[in-house]
């Protein structure tokens, strides 16, 4: 099953637009987990088992694992393999944000898809279509392109005027018109910029899916995100929450993560049901 169909299946099976980011930080792990042979995998496994019926995707951020060297990368691989073996209907988005010339991107793509086993990756578009092609050639994978990011500094470049329009609009149009020949492109559009999200939704129509970071700690407003980003079917979004879920508590952390994930899932569904 390709990524888009897998995602749609997870949306329906769990009735959820919620994605949980698996971004472990060693200093924030419970002491009992810190002492295990594979602390990141042990932590992730409990989070996954506690939330697998509440999410539409998991999103490990590669940086947290790379920082631990070979051990961390092995734990990332173990995490993805665990999801695929035990919850194969839930897609894995590797938050990767890579973007380089073509032959380098070929190696990044091989690492993400062939070695780690991700179903989708985030990438940056700044080297142009030639370099992105290495990812797009994986027709069954999701290629999620940074368009309007959630950080406060996004305006520095993404709001620059290019041929009379904002740069982020130009990037979105390129993806829509030129890059999405295989129908496997998605966009990163941050929750902290609902007005920009609304413009992008109008440009993209119903078919394009947005990965939405920036709720919770970063301050995005859920109601505004849903009003701006949902398509006419009340779907089309992957709404990510990382720290707010996985670090909900150090005490009974898996149960606390489940409670927070359930709260977010229900809040999303209640609000999209009222729009």
What's the CA gap between 214 and 212, in Å, rounded? 7
In this prediction, residue 102 carries a pLDDT of 86
In this prediction, residue 273 carries a pLDDT of 80
In this prediction, the residues of the chain whose per-residue pLDDT falls under 50 are none
pLDDT single digits (tens) 9-18: 999 999 999 9
Domains of the chain: 3-274 (3.20.20.70)
**Among residues 13, 59, 97, 223, which one is catalytic?**
97
- 97 belongs to the catalytic site: yes
CB environment 79-108: b (16+ within 10 A), e (fewer) = bbeebeeebeebbbbbbbbbbbeeeebbeb
Nearest alpha-carbon partner for 212 in 117, 196, 99: 196
């Amino acid at each position: 099953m390709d990524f888009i169909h897998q995602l749609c299946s997870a949306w329906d099976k769990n009735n959820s637009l919620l994605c949980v980011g698996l971004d472990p930080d060693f200093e924030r792990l419970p002491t009992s987990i810190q002492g295990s042979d594979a602390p990141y995998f042990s932590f992730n496994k409990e989070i996954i088992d506690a939330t697998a019926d509440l999410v539409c995707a998991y999103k490990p951020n590669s940086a947290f694992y790379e920082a631990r060297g070979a051990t961390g990368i092995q734990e990332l691989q173990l995490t993805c393999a665990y999801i695929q073996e035990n919850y194969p209907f839930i897609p894995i988005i590797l938050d990767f944000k890579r973007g380089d010339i073509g032959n380098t991107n070929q190696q990044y793509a091989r690492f993400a898809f062939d070695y780690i086993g991700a179903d989708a990756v985030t990438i940056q578009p700044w080297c142009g279509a030639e370099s992105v092609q290495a990812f797009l050639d994986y027709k069954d994978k999701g290629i999620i392109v940074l368009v309007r990011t959630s950080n406060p500094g996004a305006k520095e470049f993404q709001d620059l005027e290019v041929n009379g329009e904002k740069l982020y609009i130009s990037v979105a149009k390129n993806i829509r018109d030129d890059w999405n020949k295989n129908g496997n492109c998605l966009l990163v559009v941050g929750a902290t910029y609902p007005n920009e999200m609304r413009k992008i939704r109008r440009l993209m129509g119903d078919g394009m899916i947005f990965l939405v970071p920036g709720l919770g700690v970063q301050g995005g407003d859920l109601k505004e995100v849903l009003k701006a980003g949902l398509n006419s079917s009340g779907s089309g979004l992957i709404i990510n929450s990382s720290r707010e879920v996985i670090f909900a508590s150090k005490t009974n952390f898996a149960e606390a993560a489940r409670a927070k994930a359930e709260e977010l899932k229900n809040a999303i569904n209640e609000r999209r049901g009222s729009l």
